[in-house]
Amino acid sequence: MGFLTLASLSKVYGDHAAVRDVDLSVAKGEFVSLLGPSGCGKTTTLQMIAGLVEPTRGTITLDGRDITHEKPNTRGLGIVFQSYALFPHMTVAQNVAFGLEMRKVARAERDKRVKTMLGLVHLAQLADRYPRQLSGGQRQRVAIARALVIVPPVLLLDEPLSNLDAKLREEMQFELRRIQQSVGTTTIMVTHDQAEALSISDRVVVMEQGRMTQIDAPYRLYEHPATAFISSFVGKMNRLDGVWRGQGPSGTAQINGVSLPCEQASFPDGQTVALSLRPEKILLRAHGQGRVDGTIVNRFFLGSYWLFTVETPVGALSVSVPNHGEEPAGEGDAVALDWTPASLRVEAITATAGAAA
C-alpha cells in the first residue's frame, strides 16, 4: 500500500470525462510526474488530490486515511500553482509565513522556520520584497517555499516551470529536485514537458485523454513505451510502417522489399507492422557498410550532438550522433545506417490502423 493512493479516481464535467479511472500508488518520499499533452486531465487530477475539485468517483487515501471528501484546508498538502498564486499584497516572508500563521505557530518559531526555508530556496536576501518585484524564477521559489514550510506530507506541483524561459527552466529542474531531496517530501509534479518529467522523476505517469497509459521509471518509459503515442511523445522516435514477411519468429520486417533486422518478434506472414527506432540508436557508417544505404539531406548542429536526416529506400530517418569535436559527413554525402537488431521495435498494427497505412 502506497503513502498516497488514488483508486478509480474520475472526474466528469457534463458529458466529458476529464479524468477516468486513475489508479496510482505513490511511495513515501517519491517524486512522481504526471506527463501528458495539454487537456489530458493532469491539473484536474492534481486538484482532486488537493481537494479543490470534487471527484465524481473514486477514492484518495493518504497514509491510510481516506481524504476523498476532506476540505482542502484540513488536508495539509502543499501546492504550487502554475501561476504561482502568490499573495501580491504580502512580502516574500509574509507569503511564506502564511501557512504557519494558519497553524498558529508562535511568532519566534515562525520567523525561524521562514528564514530556514528562504535559505533553502536561496531567497534569504529578498524576504522583504513584494512578489511584483521578483523575477519569474524567484516567484516560483517563493511558491515552493510557501508550500514546503508547512512540512506537507505531499507536495503538489502544477507545471511549476512552464512560465520560465528555457535556460532557467533547466536550472530550476535540478534545483527543484535538490530541494525535494533535501526535505524528502513526497512530490507529484504535473508537466507537459517530457524532458522535465524524465530528468527529475523517480517515476513518470503518462496520461492520455484522462487515462493513465503507462507508469514507469523514466528510462523504462523511454526504452519501452507502452503505446505508439508514448513513443512519439517521449523523446524523438523514427516510426515506419512495414510488413512482416515469413512465418512466425523466423520472419523479418520489410519495407519496400528491404529486410530490416529487428528485435525478437513473431507475427503471421503479411501482417502490417509499425517499426520504431530511436535516432541515437542508429550509427552512421561508410556507404555500403551498414544495413541500409542512404543520403544525408539535412544536418543540424545541436552542440552536444549532430542531428541528421537521412533519405533511405525505407524512408527518411533521423539519426543523432554525439559531437566528438570533428566535423562529420555533410549534406549530400552517401552513408549507410546500422543498428543493433534489438533496438528496432516491431508492433502489429490493428486492422483499421493498418488499412490507413
Footprint of other proteins on this chain (CB under 8 A)? 50-52, 71-79, 81-83, 85-89, 98-99, 102-103, 132, 146, 150
Smallest distance from ligand ADP to CB 49, Å: 12
Among 43, 140, 214, 312, contact with Mg ion (rule: CB under 5 A): 43
Query: Pick from ligand ADP, other proteins, Mg ion, none: which does 81 bind, CB < 5 to 8 A by kind?
Result: other proteins
Contacts of 349 (CB under 8 A, 6+ apart): 241, 272, 273, 274, 357
Shorter beta-carbon distance to other proteins: residue 155 or 314:
155
Is residue 5 a contact point for Mg ion (CB under 5 A)? Answer: no
Shorter beta-carbon distance to other proteins: residue 96 or 265:
96
Shorter beta-carbon distance to ligand ADP: residue 48 or 179:
48
Q: Which three cell numbers stand for residue 249?
A: 519468429
Region at 330 (left for phi over 0; alpha for psi -120 to 50; beta for the rest) = beta
Shorter beta-carbon distance to ligand ADP: residue 18 or 49:
18
Query: Pick from Mg ion, ligand ADP, other proteins, none: which does 18 bind, CB < 5 to 8 A by kind?
Result: ligand ADP
- Binding segment for Mg ion among 25-33, 40-48, 92-100, 220-228 (CB under 5 A)? 40-48
Is the CB of residue 92 less than 8 Å from the CB of residue 128?
yes
Smallest distance from ligand ADP to CB 68, Å: 18
Is the CB of residue 231 less than 8 Å from the CB of residue 260?
no
Q: Give the Cα separation of 300 and 53 in Å (integer).
A: 46
Shorter beta-carbon distance to ligand ADP: residue 36 or 242:
36
Q: Report CA-CA distances (Å) from 9 to 34, 48, 158, 206, 210.
A: 14, 9, 18, 15, 10
Q: Give the Cα separation of 337 and 298 in Å (integer).
A: 15
DSSP letter string, 313-325: TTEEEEEEEE--S
Q: Give the Cα separation of 285 and 254 in Å (integer).
A: 21
Is residue 55 a contact point for ligand ADP (CB under 6 A)? Answer: no
Is residue 50 a contact point for ligand ADP (CB under 6 A)? Answer: no
Smallest distance from ligand ADP to CB 191, Å: 10
Shorter beta-carbon distance to ligand ADP: residue 210 or 279:
210
Helix H or strand E segment including 176: helix 166-183
Q: Give the Cα separation of 8 and 161 in Å (integer).
A: 29
Smallest distance from other proteins to CB 196, Å: 21
Q: Backbone phi, then psi, for 65, in 5-degree steps? A: -105, 130
Is residue 276 a contact point for Mg ion (CB under 5 A)? Answer: no
Is the CB of residue 357 less than 8 Å from the CB of residue 349?
yes
Contacts to ligand ADP from residues 6-45, by CB under 6 A? 13, 18, 36, 38-44
Q: Which three cell numbers stand for residue 269?
A: 506472414
Query: Pick from Mg ion, ligand ADP, other proteins, none: which does 52 bind, CB < 5 to 8 A by kind?
Result: other proteins
Shorter beta-carbon distance to ligand ADP: residue 42 or 169:
42
Query: Pick from other proteins, Mg ion, ligand ADP, none: which does 174 bind, CB < 5 to 8 A by kind?
Result: none
The count of C-alpha atoms lying within 13 angstroms of the C-alpha of 132, restricted to the half-sphere facing its C-beta, is 3
3-class DSSP state of 218: helix
Q: Give the Cα separation of 310 and 328 in Å (integer).
A: 14
Shorter beta-carbon distance to Mg ion: residue 30 or 159:
159
Smallest distance from other proteins to CB 89, Å: 4
Q: What single letter denotes the amino acid at residue 10?
A: S
Query: Pick from other proteins, Mg ion, ligand ADP, none: which does 287 bind, CB < 5 to 8 A by kind?
Result: none
Binding interface with Mg ion (CB under 5 A):
43
Chain residues binding ligand ADP by CB under 6 A are: 13, 18, 36, 38-44
